[in-house]
Structures are given as structure tokens and as C-alpha cells.
Structure 1
Amino acid sequence: MAADEAEARAVLGVGPRDGADAIREAHRRLLSGVHPDRGGSVELARRINAARDRLLKG
């Protein structure tokens, strides 16, 4: 597992054996708590989105 992938999995809190469904669920769960439209952090939302993109497209 590449360092970028390991970091992305750590951001989302998913393991190396978790698949696309688990990644999408973790993304939704995390983003709902930090979304900028709900007063959350733009930077955290960016990191969560980038982690999802890295794992699903990588």
C-alpha cells in the first residue's frame, strides 16, 4: 500500500480491506459533520473529499 493510500484510508478511518461501499459510507458520515454549509471546516472537507477521490480513483 502506497503512503498516499494509507494516509487517505486514515483520514476516512477505513481499513486496507474495506471496499468502495465502505469508503463511500465513511465519506458521507465524516462530511456530514464538517460540511462548510453547516458551519464546518473547508479544509477538513477538502481533505475528506481528496481521500475519497484518491481511494476510489486510485
Structure 2
Amino acid sequence: MDREDRTREARTEPRPDDRERQRERAAAPPIEREHETWQGILEEDERRERERS
């Protein structure tokens, strides 16, 4: 294995801190909405639209 092969291999292998960040992203809690039902979510979205205008 020459120097170029090692460099190419090193680039394809994720760094340990990158692996840790991916694990954190996978374990992130879902975005919480005010209402859990689809109807409540629609009402919340409509309310936000009215507030913007």
C-alpha cells in the first residue's frame, strides 16, 4: 500500500467525531408540535399562517 492509497482510504473512513455526530442526529427527539392529532396540526398551521399575514 503506497502513500496515495492510504490517503484515499483515510478520506473514505469517517472520523470518530463524525461518527459520534451521526449517532447524536439519529437519537435526536422529534420536533414537538402543540397538537398530536392531524386536525390539531392543521389548525396550528392555519393559525401560524394568519399570524404571518
* Class of the TM-score when normalised by the shorter of the 2 chains: 0.3 to 0.5
TM-score (norm. length: structure 2): 0.37
Tell me: higher relative CO, structure 1 or 2? Use CA pairs within 8 A at least 6 residues apart: 1
Q: Normalising by the residue count of structure 1, what TM-score does the alignment of the two structures yield?
A: 0.35
Considering fraction of residues, name the structure with more helix: 1
Structure of larger gyration radius: 2
